[in-house]
Structure formats: structure tokens, C-alpha cells
Amino acid sequence: MKSLKELEEIRKNTLENINLRKGREGYRIIVGMATCGIAAGARPVLTTIMEEINKLDLKDVTVAQTGCIGACRLEPMVEVYSPDGNKVTYIKMDAEKAKAMVESHIKNNKVIDEYTMTVIDGKVIDPVTK
Amino acid sequence: MKEISLHILDIVQNSISAKASIIKLIVLESTIENKLIVIIEDDGKGMDKEFLKTVSDPFITTRTTRKVGLGISLLKASAERCQGNFMIDSEIGIGTKVKASFQYDHIDRAPLGNMAETIVSIILSLGENTELIYFHRYNHQEFTFDTREIKKILGNEVSIFQSEVVDWIKDYVKEGLKNLYGGVEN
């Protein structure tokens, strides 16, 4: 049974650890949530990302949404900003890829190149899938 | 959209873009009256009457990345396909209200779908100072979720966007809705 008491527990635990988290800049994950994204399956991508962050107990990761990025056929899209300011754009994501991305990129700092957007001569080339 | 809850997620994004501070989401299911009603009301910047007249047109949009805005027109089509109604009203500086109704047992009515996931997605989309009040009624059973109550328990130092909190919210809404339907998952 979910209770508000559990929420109080979460609050207590967070406060106890709060000094460990202060002042650290982490990854920012932005999921496209416009009509195109939602229709293409952005919601399970977002919830899977949150689940994985929880499961892997990753701290200092911010998850947010954005509107239409303009490349609707590439949705669902996920932008990952690393602490040093670099941006990686993942395209045509699904729950499975999102799970792999969090473990590889956010946890182990290893970008999954096959899932990202490649721009050659100003044209967006779909990722190479094996 | 495959689920009505995806339409809900979509329309709420409009309220967030309109810089609402309070977003009210009301879902009313009545098998007795054979109706499913979704109301999304916000106190965002609103639209003037001229724009409001054409807003359901898919070729009318405020976004700059594309010439098409499908959110409202898709919901309108979904409702009308189910012998339902669609209404949108707005006033500049006051807010916007969207109401869609569906014939409950219509063969073309999409399932309401995963509301818990939609609520979680909405919360992750909210700004620091935007609140969500979610009221869901199924015949005579009611469920309420209010981010203000959650924030009161969490206090100022713990963010509602924290992953453990979001995870708790997902399960809390899932369970609350299960109880609405009498312990059977819809």
C-alpha cells in the first residue's frame, strides 16, 4: 500500500544525504514531448529513463522535457547534456534503447553512437543500426 | 493517439507552454451515463478570441519549428469520432480550458490507457512553480492527486523531481486508480 508515510521516509533519507549532493553538476537529459514525440512513443522513453536512474541509483541527473525540435520523423528524441557542456542527440528512441543509453552514457560516460544523430553536409543521416 | 492519456499528456504541454501556475486535470468516467469526459484547465497566458476561433485548425500553431500543430485537432477528431464533443475556451491573461467528451462504449474510443505514466511525465514537464491538481472519478469512486500536498510533505529541501519521489508518485497513482476500478486494472 502506497502511503504518504513512505514519502516522509524519502524526505528523511534525502535530507540525511543532502550534503553529499550539494554543488555537483551532473547530466541533463531532455526528452522531446511535443505531439510528434508523444505519438511516436516518448512517454515510455521518459518513464524508462526515470526507472533506470532510480535502479542504478544515479545522483545529480536532471530529467526534463522540451517541445518540438523540428525533426519530427526522428522522434522520439533525447538530448543528453554532459557536465562539461557537450550535447548528444539520440534519435528514434524506444524504452529498450533508453535503458541501454542510461547505463552506458549516464552511468559509464560512454555514448552509444549507433543511436545518435549524424549530420553530414547539413543533412541528417539516420544512425547505423547493426 | 493510441491512448486518451497520451492526448492528455499532449494538451497539458500546451498549458505548460502557456506558463500556467496551476493545471487542473479532471477525468470523469461514468458507465451509468455512458460518458468519458476529460477537462484540462490552466491559468496560463490564454489566447485572444481571434486566435481561439481558429486554434482547432491543424495549420494554426504557435510553434515556429513547423507549420502544423496537431495536438488540439487530434483530440477534437478523437472525441468527435466517438459521438463526443470538443470544446476549447480561453481568455487572455486568464487561462484556457479544454473539454473533450467521449461516448464510453463507442467502438472507436481509445482506452484511457496508462494514466500513472502520463501523470509522471506531466510532473517531469512541470516548472518549479507549476502545480498539477488531478481529479479522477469512476462512477462513484474518486481519486485525487495534488502536487501541492506532495510538496508540503517534502518540504523546501527535497525536490518533487527527485527520482525516488517520481517513482513513489507513479506507484501511488497506479494504486489509487486501481482502487477506483475496484481493484481491477483498467
Contact at CB, B1 and A11, closer than 8 angstroms = no
CA atoms of A53 and A108, how far apart (whole Å)? 12
pLDDT in tens, B23-35: 999 999 999 999 9
Instruction: Report B:74-113 residues touching A (Cβ under 8 A).
Output: 74
Lowest mean pLDDT among A9-18, A78-87, B152-161: A9-18
- Residue A92 is which amino acid? K
pLDDT at B7: 96
pLDDT in tens, B7-60: 999 999 999 999 999 999 999 999 999 999 999 999 999 999 988 988 888 888
A102 near A90, Cβ under 8 Å?
no
pLDDT at A71: 84
Task: Give contacts of A46 with chain B, Cβ < 8 Å.
Answer: 120-121, 124
Q: Where are the alpha helices (DSSP H) in B18-106?
A: 49-54, 71-81
pLDDT at A20: 61
∠ Cα B36 B146 B55 (to 5°) = 50
Task: Give contacts of B170 with chain A, Cβ < 8 Å.
Answer: 47
Cβ contacts below 8 Å, chain A against chain B, sum to: 100
Instruction: Report A:27-46 residues touching B (Cβ under 8 A).
Output: 33-36, 38-39, 43-44, 46
pLDDT at B4: 96
Strand partners, B135: B26, B144
- The verdict on A20 touching B (C-beta cutoff 8 Å) is no
Helix or strand (DSSP H, E) at A87: strand A87-90
Task: Give contacts of B117 with chain A, Cβ < 8 Å.
Answer: 43-44, 47
CA atoms of A26 and B13, how far apart (whole Å)? 25
Task: Give contacts of A13 with chain B, Cβ < 8 Å.
Answer: 164
Model confidence, pTM: 0.90
**C-alpha cell of residue A129:** 543500426
Given a cut of 90, whether residue B89 has pLDDT beyond it is: yes
